[in-house]
């Protein structure tokens, strides 16, 4: 039976309506998928690039905890850990990165100068610092040489010291400034303090590229004392290593910065912000780091040394990097070169 023209018209209109609804539904589904991929707790990948020592803290504790948070649901991490200066230069040269955590402020400001990190990266209540520590001395069980302060290293001609190379490792620079600042605080002149640094560096059989490699060398039997982050000593003990450590009465506060790369995903910013939450700061503290939140700092576990000083007392890292570690001109550059170690 043939259809009337009016019937054919109605059915054509109905068919067009169905097709329109199907197409509209596909658009809605597509829009919903896009929203899911860019909204809070929607997943994505964070390319994390950091200095060597917090690898275990990130991979085993902080990253899993963040993925259980509202903003971290579905987020995945790709990680790169190594000597701080090397890592910073790699990002500058184009290594994929969203979130960076280095040992020194200058390793962040290098990326500010290259346009990869916002100049406002440290404009918050914690000045961009996610964790604190202090320079400590890791010693053999029972501290057989009775090492209590940096002078004990300087005055012992037979001692062998482990510390990384200051031209690849941020941790090594903190170690050097701890020795230098402690000497200044004891009343020595700047030249005498530099002589102490040279004395200590002359007792290093090798200079590893990073603080983590230096720790591994010490645990493997190299040296009598390791200059290192306090958190590295605690991490070694948590891992069952038979070592002791001493926090000198006069030592330096280590401030470790983090930032997000310009154009990074919202997930990276969420992760950075989360690192300042009470939950994250407590995790950091459990892993041997000192909380940047004074109200959370466990002063029983982390007593504040009487002679604690900061890099600001020497003009901050921009000034120190030039005066002490500047290529060809810095006082430490000259010492390291004289001792025959690499300044590359």
Domain count, the chain: 2
Please, which pLDDT band fits residue 279 given cuts at 50, 70 and 90? very high
pLDDT at 24: 35
From the number of C-beta atoms within 10 Å of its C-beta (0-12, 13-18, 19+), residue 285 rates as buried
In a domain, 297, yes or no: no
Q: How far apart are CA 259 and CA 237, in angstroms?
A: 29
- Spell out the residues 6+ positions from residue 16 whose beta carbon is closer than 8 angstroms to its own: none
Work out the average pLDDT over 192-220: 95
pLDDT beyond 60 at 11? no
Indicate whether 237 and 281 sit together in one domain.
no
CB 240 within 8 A of CB 112: no
Q: What residue has token string 């402690």?
A: 182
Tell me whether residue 226 is in a domain. yes
Do 174 and 310 belong together in one domain? yes
If asked whether residues 231 and 276 sit together in one domain, one would say: no
pLDDT exceeds 60 at position 21: no
Boundaries of domain holding 262: 44-131+256-286
Is 93 part of a structural domain of the chain?
yes
CA dihedral sign of residues 38, 43, 44, 45 = positive
The domain that holds 229 is classified in CATH as 3.40.190.10
Backbone dihedral angles phi then psi of residue 329, each to the nearest 5 degrees: -120, -25
The answer to whether residues 96 and 197 belong to one domain is: no
Say whether 75 sits in a helix, a strand or coil: strand
Same domain assignment for residues 241 and 205: yes
Residue 314 has pLDDT above 90, yes or no: yes
pLDDT of residue 42: 61
Per-residue pLDDT, 92:
98
Whole-number Å distance between alpha carbons of 65 and 272: 13
d(CA 125, CA 129): 9
In this structure, the answer to whether residues 201 and 276 fall within a common structural domain is: no
- Tell me which of 41-55, 120-134, 187-201 is least confident: 41-55
Q: How confident is the model at residue 43 (pLDDT cuts 50, 70, 90)?
A: confident
250 and 227 together in one domain? yes
> Does residue 87 belong to any structural domain of this protein?
yes
Report phi then psi at 256, rounded to 5.
-110, 115
Q: Give the least confident one: 21-25, 46-50, 63-67, 71-75.
A: 21-25
- Determine the angle formed by the axes of helices 170-185 and 211-219, rounding to 10 degrees: 80
pLDDT at residue 91 tops 50: yes
The reported pLDDT for the residue numbered 5 is 36
Q: Are residues 97 and 231 in the same domain?
A: no
Q: What is the mean pLDDT of residues 277-289?
A: 97
Q: Are residues 137 and 156 in the same domain?
A: yes
Predicted confidence at residue 41, as pLDDT, reads 56
H-type alpha helices, the chain: 5-38, 55-57, 63-67, 84-92, 105-113, 150-154, 170-185, 190-201, 211-219, 230-238, 266-274, 278-286, 317-325, 331-338
Is the distance from CB of 185 to CB of 248 less than 8 angstroms? no
Summary mean pLDDT of the chain = 89
Say yes or no to pLDDT of 179 above 80: yes
Distance of CA 329 to the CA centre of its chain: 27
In a shared domain, residues 212 and 326 = yes
CB 145 within 8 A of CB 224: yes
Pair (146, 281) in one structural domain:
no
Three-class SS of 244-274: EEECCCCCEEEEEEEEECCCCCHHHHHHHHH
Whether 33 is covered by a domain: the verdict is no
Q: Label residue 8 exposed, middle or buried (CB < 10 Å: 0-12, 13-18, 19+).
A: exposed
Asked if residue 78 is part of any domain, the answer here is yes
- The pLDDT of residue 26 is 34
CB-based contact 100:58 (threshold 8 Å): no
Residue (of 264, 290, 311, 262) closest to 121 by Cα position: 262
Regarding whether 183 and 64 lie in a shared domain, the answer is: no
Position 21 in a domain: no
In a domain, 27, yes or no: no
pTM: 0.85
pLDDT at position 34, please? 27
Residue 16 above 50 pLDDT?
no
């Amino acid at each position: 039976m043939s259809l009337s023209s009016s019937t054919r018209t109605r059915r054509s209109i109905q068919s067009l309506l169905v097709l329109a609804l199907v197409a509209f539904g596909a658009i809605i589904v597509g829009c919903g998928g896009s929203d899911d991929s860019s909204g809070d707790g929607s997943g994505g990948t964070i390319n994390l690039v950091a200095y060597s020592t917090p690898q275990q803290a990130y991979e085993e504790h902080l990253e899993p905890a963040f993925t259980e948070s509202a903003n971290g649901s579905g987020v995945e991490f790709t990680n790169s850990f190594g000597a701080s200066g090397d890592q910073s230069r790699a990002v500058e040269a184009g290594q994929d990165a969203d979130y960076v955590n280095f040992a020194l402020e200058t390793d962040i400001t290098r990326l500010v100068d290259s346009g990869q990190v916002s100049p406002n990266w440290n404009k918050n209540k914690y000045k961009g610092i996610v964790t604190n520590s202090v320079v400590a001395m890791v010693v053999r069980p029972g501290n057989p040489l009775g090492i209590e302060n940096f002078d004990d290293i300087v005055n012992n001609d037979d001692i062998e010291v482990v510390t990384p190379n200051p031209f690849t490792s941020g941790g090594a620079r903190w170690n050097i400034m701890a020795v230098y600042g402690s000497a200044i605080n004891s009343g020595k002149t700047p030249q005498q303090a530099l002589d102490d640094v040279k004395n200590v560096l002359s007792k290093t059989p090798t200079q590893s590229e990073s603080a983590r490699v230096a720790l591994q060398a010490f645990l493997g039997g190299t040296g009598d004392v390791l200059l290192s982050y306090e958190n590295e000593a605690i991490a070694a003990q948590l891992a069952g290593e038979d070592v002791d450590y001493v926090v000198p009465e006069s030592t330096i506060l280590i401030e470790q910065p983090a930032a997000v790369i310009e154009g990074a995903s919202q997930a990276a910013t969420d992760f950075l912000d989360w690192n300042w939450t009470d939950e994250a700061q407590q995790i950091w503290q459990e892993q041997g780091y000192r909380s940047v939140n004074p109200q959370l700092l466990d002063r029983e576990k982390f007593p504040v040394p009487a002679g604690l000083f900061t890099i600001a007392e020497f003009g901050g890292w921009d000034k120190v990097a030039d005066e002490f570690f500047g290529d060809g001109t810095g006082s430490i550059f000259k010492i390291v070169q004289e001792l025959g170690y690499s300044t590359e």
